[in-house]
Amino acid sequence: MSEYQEIVEKEWEKYSKAQHLPNIMLLGCTGCGKSTLINTIFGKQVAKVSDTGRGTTEFQVYRGEDNNSSVNLIDSKGYEMGSAGDCQRFINDFNKWMGQNRNTQDMVHLVWYCISVSTTRIQDYDIEVLKSVNSDRDIRGKLAVVITQCDNDDEQGTIAKSIRDIVHEEVGSNIAVFEVSNDPKLPLDIEKLIEWSSEHIDDEDIRKMFVAAQMVNLDAKRKTAAKIIATAVTAAAATGAIPIPGPDAPILTAEQVAMTAAIIGCYGMNMAKGVVTALVGDVLISNLGKTLVGSIIKLIPGIGTVAGAAINASVAAAITGALGAAVSEICYNCCRRIAQGKSVDLIAELDYNSIKDIMGSFLKKNGKKSPEEIKDIIEGSGCRTREARRSSPKRSPARTCKARARPTRCWPRTAASSTIEDIRTAR
C-alpha cells in the first residue's frame, strides 16, 4: 500500500467514524404519501430492510447504511384511528419510543407529519397526535407538517390552506407547514422543507449528512462543499512555504485528500471507503502527481516553472481551492444527472481533462489572490466557476403559498369539491 493510499484510508476512516446520521421520524396515516415524499427528497426507494426499534412494533427504522444513504428514517406504520383509544395508544407508543431513545443513535432529530390533501380534511386524531408530538421537549421546534398530494387540490389550494390554518389555530402558530406534490412540475414547498430541515438540525456534522442524503436542493450540497473547501484553504495556507513538487511527486497533501473525501461525502455520492480510495488514490493522485502538477503550476501567475521555488501560503491556498472547486463542480453535475434518472460513474467523470480545465479556470482568475480572498470567493460563489454559472440552466421561480394571493395559479390542479367550511364542518 502506497503512502497516499494509507492517507486516503486513514482520512476516510476518520471521516466515516465521525458520521452520525440524522434520524427523521415520519408520521401519518395509511396512504398519506410518506413513501412518495421520501422517494422525491432522497431520490431512491427505501429498502424493506428495517429494525422495529426498542420496545415497540409501531415504528420501523430504515438504516442509511442498508440503503446507501446518509440518513436514517423512523417510519410509523400506517395507521387508521377508529377510536379515541386507538389515538391514545399511538401517542403512548410515540412517547415510549422517545423516552427509550433519548441520547441514543435513534434519537429523533426531526419529525415530518404527513397529511394528504386527498383526504379533503384534517382528522381529530391528527390534531391530537400533533399536539402530543409538539409537546415533547426534544421535538418542540423540530416538527413540520407536510401537506402531500397537493396536485389534487384546486387552483387556489383551498384544502391545503384550510389544513394549514387549522394546524396553526389548534396546534400552534409556530408549526412549520409545507405543501408538496406528486407532480414534478408542481414543486411547491419541497425545497423550503429541505432548507427548514437543514436549519433545524442542531449538530453541524449531522446537518451535513442530511444535506448529503437529500437530492432535491443541490445548491445546499454546494454550499456545504464550499465550507469544506474554505476550511481546507485555510489549513493549506497555514502550512507555510514548502518546496514545489518535482515531476514525480504527488501534489495532494493529507489536508487535500481529506477535503476531497469530505466533498464527495457531502454530495452523497458514495458511502464506501473502497470507492473513495480508488477515486482519490488511483485517479486524482496519479494524475496530479506526474502529469497535472506541471500544468497546474504554470497557470498560477508569477510562479511559472521555477524549479525549487517555494509554494507560499497564497499558492497553496489557490491550488487547494482550485482542486476543491473542481471536485465540487463535477460532483454537483453528477448529482443533477442522478436527479434526472440518469446513471453516473463518478470515477469516470473525475478524469484528467475535467479536473485540469476547472482548476485552470480557477487559477487563472484567482492564482495571485490572498488565502482570505480565495476563501471569500469560495464561500461567496458556492465554489462555482464562472463557466459553470454561465452554463447552468436557469431555475424557475419557486412557487410557494404566497402565490395564493393571485386569482389562479399558473399550473393545472385537479378540481377539489371541498371548501373550507366543508372541511371544518367535517371535523
149-182, pLDDT tens digit by residue?
A: 999 999 899 999 999 999 999 999 999 999 999 8
Q: Structure pTM?
A: 0.76
**pLDDT score of 265:** 83
Model pLDDT, residue 302: 59
pLDDT at residue number 258: 80
Q: How far apart are CA 277 and CA 163, in angstroms?
A: 50
- For residue 327, the SS3 value is helix
Q: Is 174 helix (H, G, I), strand (E, B) or coil?
A: coil
Q: Count other C-beta atoms under 10 Å from residue 127's C-beta.
A: 17
For the chain, list residues with pLDDT below 50.
Answer: 47-56, 241, 244, 246-250, 271, 289-290, 305-310, 386-387, 389-425
59-62 and 176-179 beta bridge pairing: unpaired
pLDDT of residue 227: 93
| Cα torsion 263, 269, 273, 275: sign | negative
Query: Which amino acid type is present at position 22?
Result: P
For every residue of 182-247, DSSP letters joined together read S-TT--TTHHHHHHHHHHT--SHHHHHHHHHH-SS-HHHHHHHHHHHHHHHHHHHHHT--EEPP-T
